[in-house]
């Protein structure tokens, strides 16, 4: 079941949107603390976001940019601002679509379903999408998504590149130099501890899939991905 996160400070409109979304069989969850939108997003892990432009303290454009740092999930703006420039700003800040108020709820639902199909449905799994697979673990680089047995986590660009390199070489050792080459164009600008930070982040993402201790540190050489998740099936 898909989860839709609503970021709208009009309580009445939020309730109407929630009602229509749930009528179509989706789960709807509304943000209540408009200073903690990114934190709420990370806790909810929604499949799509409905975002108003006019919000307390920071506007929707700001929050869209923040969410794009951690996710590629569809973001649809809903706003009373009808100008062309507003729509251009929304798209340039990372939105996937823009719906002007007042709107028809059937149109909103049609756009939601369309975006969900593109991101997760038949359109997303088209033959042109690249997939990296290793013993049932699947990485979708274009979507920055890692999946195992129906569970999924979202990765950053760097985390995705790191995971892709390890999966392609699994179960062989990947040198630190090779990983640095993959993640950064100029190694000498990168502190040696930076790679360690990204390894730690990827380990945490794997833990969210129930995979513990799959990335082994080979002292003085690099890292090795061990397909221990086979034992989970």
- 126 in a structural domain: no
pLDDT, mean over the chain: 85
Q: What pLDDT, on a 0 to 100 scale, did the predictor assign at position 36?
A: 93
Residues listed for the chain: 233
Range of the domain at 162: 132-232
Contact 65, 57 (CB under 8 A): no
Say how many C-beta atoms besides its own lie within 10 A of residue 105's C-beta. Answer: 13
Angstrom distance (rounded) from CA 62 to CA 34: 12
Which one of 120, 142, 161 terminates a domain? 120
Q: Angle 199-202-206 (CA atoms, 0-180°, nearest 5)? A: 135
pTM listed for this prediction: 0.55
Residue 187 confidence (pLDDT) above 50: no
56 and 139 part of one domain: no
Q: β-pairing, 137-140 with 151-154? A: unpaired
Domains held by the chain: number: 2
pLDDT grade for 189, boundaries at 50, 70 and 90: low
Question: What integer is the mean pLDDT of 52-72?
Answer: 89
Q: Answer yes or no: is 144 within a domain.
A: yes
What are the residues whose beta carbons fall under 8 Å from the beta carbon of 97, sequence distance 6 or more? 74, 76, 77, 111, 115
Q: Which of 174, 161, 72 is nearest to 120 (CA)?
A: 72
Assigned domain for 139 exists: yes
Cα–Cα distance measured from residue 144 to residue 47, given in angstroms and rounded to the nearest whole number: 13
The pLDDT tens digits of the residues spanning 210-220 come to 998 899 999 88
In a domain, 55, yes or no: yes
Which of 93, 120, 147 terminates a domain? The answer is 120
Give the CATH number of the domain where residue 68 resides. Answer: 3.40.50.2300
Question: What is the average pLDDT across 198-215?
Answer: 91
Kind and range of the H or E element at 177?
Answer: helix 176-183
CA R_g for the chain? 20
Q: Which of 107, 148, 119, 90 is nearest to 2 (CA)?
A: 119
Give the count of beta carbons closer than 10 Å to the beta carbon of residue 23. 11
| pLDDT of 209 strictly over 60 | yes
List, in sequence order, every beta strand (DSSP E) within 25-126.
27-30, 48-52, 75-79, 97-100
Report the half-sphere exposure of 60 (CA within 13 A, side-chain side).
Answer: 27
Two structure tokens written together for 85: 């420039």
pLDDT digits (tens, 9 = 90+) for 3-56: 999 999 999 999 999 999 999 889 999 999 999 999 999 988 899 999 999 998
Let me know whether 163 and 109 are in one domain.
Answer: no
pLDDT exceeding 90 applies to what percent of the chain? 36
Q: Is pLDDT above 90 for 183?
A: no
Res 130: pLDDT: 76
Highest-confidence segment of 13-17, 127-131, 189-193? 13-17
Residue after which a domain boundary falls, among 120, 143, 158: 120
> Hey, is 63 helix, strand or coil?
helix
106 and 193 share one domain: no
pLDDT at 41 (0 to 100): 92
**CATH number for the domain that contains residue 141:** 1.10.10.10
């Amino acid at each position: 079941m898909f989860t839709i996160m609503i970021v709208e400070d009009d309580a009445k409109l939020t309730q109407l949107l929630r009602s229509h979304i749930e009528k179509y069989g989706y789960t709807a969850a509304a943000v209540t603390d408009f200073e903690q939108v990114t934190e709420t997003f990370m806790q909810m892990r929604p499949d799509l976001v409905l975002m108003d432009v006019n919000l307390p303290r920071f506007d929707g454009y700001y929050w869209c940019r923040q969410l794009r740092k951690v996710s590629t999930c569809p973001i649809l703006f809903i706003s009373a601002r009808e100008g062309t420039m507003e729509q251009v700003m929304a798209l340039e800040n990372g939105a996937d679509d823009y719906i002007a108020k007042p709107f028809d709820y059937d149109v909103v639902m049609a756009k939601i379903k369309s975006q969900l199909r593109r991101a997760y449905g038949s359109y997303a799994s088209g033959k042109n999408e690249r997939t990296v697979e290793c013993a049932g673990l699947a990485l979708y680089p274009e979507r920055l998504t890692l999946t195992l047995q129906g569970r999924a986590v979202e990765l950053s660009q760097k985390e995705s590149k790191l995971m892709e390199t390890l999966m392609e070489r699994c179960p062989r050792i990947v040198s630190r130099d090779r990983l640095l080459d993959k993640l950064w164009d100029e190694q000498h600008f990168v502190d040696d501890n930076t790679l360690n930070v990204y390894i730690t982040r990827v380990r945490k993402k794997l833990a969210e899939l129930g995979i513990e201790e799959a990335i082994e540190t080979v002292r003085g050489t690099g890292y090795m991905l061990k397909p221990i998740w086979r034992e989970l099936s």
